[in-house]
Amino acid sequence: MSDALKAKIADVFDEPGCEKNKGKGAKEKKKGCSKPLTPGAAAGGCAFDGAKIALQPITDVVHLVHGPLACEGNGWDNRHAASSGPTTYRQGFTTDISEMDIVMGSSEKRLYRAIKEIVAKYSPPAIFVYSTCVTALIGDDIDAVCKHATEKYGTPVVPVNAPGFVGSKNLGNKLGGEALLDHVIGTLEPDDVTPFDINILGEYNLSGELWQVLPLFDRLGIRVRACITGDARYRDVASSHRAKVNMMVCSTALINLARKMEERYGIPYFEGSFYGIEDTSTALRTTARMLVERGAPEGLLARTESLIASEEARAWQRIAPFKERLAGKRVLLYTGGVKSWSVVSALQEMGMIVVGTSVRKSTAEDKERIKEIMKGDPHMVESIPPREMYAQLKKGDADILLSGGRTQFVALKAKMPWLDINQERHHAYAGYDGMVELVRQLDLEINSPIWEDVRRPAPWETVRAERTPSAQLPCEASP
């Protein structure tokens, strides 16, 4: 690992914006925030994966992966970060380095030529170059190649130093944020600044969720300068340093970005969520308050309260018809972070019973929130081994599992309802509209007729119990 990357990782692991990090000693900090991996029992993506997740939603740039095939070849176009325009980000670009490149040391040259080809054929506003384990191991200096290419071709070429083996997906998210800080944010000066400008950090517009929320800001006259990085354009991100307020959505992913934008450009930030009715209202209210504190006219506050009142009422009204069909149903929530509590209140409002919520990836504050919402009976669980979860579901300990793709088949093979609430999901669950959609999907899934059908014993399983005398055969069968 280069010294620069080492220093960068040490810097990311020292995060005064994070309560948990502040409580750690110097030695603990060095270890970072992810638990050490156990060979043979590890799950989840690597740092490269994390950096890609954080940056790929920038729709108009080319994301070029410098490494052997698998890093990009096995993973491109695999998420549902939606775009309202350009589709360049959905194409896969990789140097696909060969054995010869490694042996002959020609991989840097290959990278340089790849950049040249991309500029010539696609002329994107920028190219993001991702290092990977192998190219980092053999000592390719992507910073130097990118710098040289930027000068030569006049297209910004941004190095993203997050090879997989430096750590987890979460670390990769942060290293992706660092690349934006070092090479993108603040490189373009906007000429259209208003006192109503905000950025949203850590929102990736999965399944179009950003578009469930943007109309709310539109109604308030608040402009989202840049969503970093959902449905973003390169220029939006490059000029995002002139926003008045940053809202940080996915709490742990880009906290370094939020804090450093505050340090460098004086943009205050807050942490909020668009999952859940109450949380959406809080996010709108906080945005408005902070904008007013920074000089926006006070009328914004009243406008916001009025919008919240009408939108909340509308959401509850749309949710009401489902209440009868969902009341009393038991939910096992197996996710992490903000989602572990942000949907709980909506489920409880339906009269649903949360029989457990996992807190694997949750922070201390997340856990406090859960305790608060679930009134002293939080049923917080750490990770559940798949075999155990299968047994619980098979026994009928819950009526539905809300989780991500990794546990999808645990539920389905136990013939139990399941709803995807992680990043691969196809439905959008953000804002007031998203909660209504979530409730609708819950109803469709829990009350589907297939459950009774697929659990019915096969004919040969019942035959012994009720051995049919020949007289009872259907009459068509008799001669």
453 contacts other proteins (rule: CB under 8 A): no
Closest CB 130 distance from other proteins, rounded Å: 12
- Residue 45 binds to other proteins (criterion: CB under 8 A): yes
Residues 134-193 that bind other proteins (CB under 8 A): 134, 136-138, 163-168
DSSP structural state of residue 93: E
Q: Please identify, using beta-carbon distances, which residue of 204 and 432 lies nearer to other proteins.
A: 204
What DSSP state is assigned to residue 124?
-
Q: Which is nearer to other proteins, 185 or 410 (CB)?
A: 410
Q: Are strands 223-229 and 157-160 parallel, antiparallel or unpaired?
A: unpaired
**Runs of H (alpha helix) within 40-106:** 47-55, 70-73, 99-104
Spatial contact of 109 and 64, defined as CB atoms under 8 Å apart: no
Residue holding tokens 């209202």?
Answer: 281
Q: Residue 64, interface with other proteins (CB under 8 A)?
A: yes
Residue 141 or 312 with smaller CB distance to other proteins: 141
- What whole-number distance in Å separates Cα of residue 56 and Cα of residue 53? 6
Question: Which residue number, 76 or 211, has a Cβ lying nearer to other proteins?
Answer: 76
Positions of E strands within 400-457: 400-403, 418-420
Report the C-alpha gap between 158 and 125 in whole angstroms.
11
Q: Which of 94, 212, 252, 280 binds other proteins (CB under 8 A)?
A: 94
286/423 with CB nearer other proteins: 423
| Residues contacting other proteins: total by CB under 8 A | 70
Binding mask 390-429 for other proteins (x = CB under 8 A): xx-------------x--xxx--x-x--------------
Q: Tell me the CA distances in angstroms from 204 to 142, 280, 360, 374, 423, one per residue in order.
A: 26, 17, 22, 29, 9
| Residue 379 and residue 356 in contact, taking contact as beta carbons nearer than 8 Å | yes
Beta carbon nearer to other proteins, 76 or 451: 76
Which CB atom, from 375 or from 426, has the smaller least distance to other proteins? 426
Minimal distance, residue 121 CB to other proteins, in Å: 8
Cis bond leading into 229, ω under 30°?
yes
Contact string 103-132 vs other proteins (x = CB under 8 A)? -------xxxxxxxxx--------------
Residue owning tokens 């949907």: 343
CA 128, 149, 232 angle in degrees (round to 5)? 25
Q: What are the residues binding other proteins (CB under 8 A)?
A: 1, 37-49, 64, 67-78, 87, 90-99, 101-102, 110-118, 133-134, 136-138, 163-168, 386-387, 390-391, 405, 408-410, 413, 415
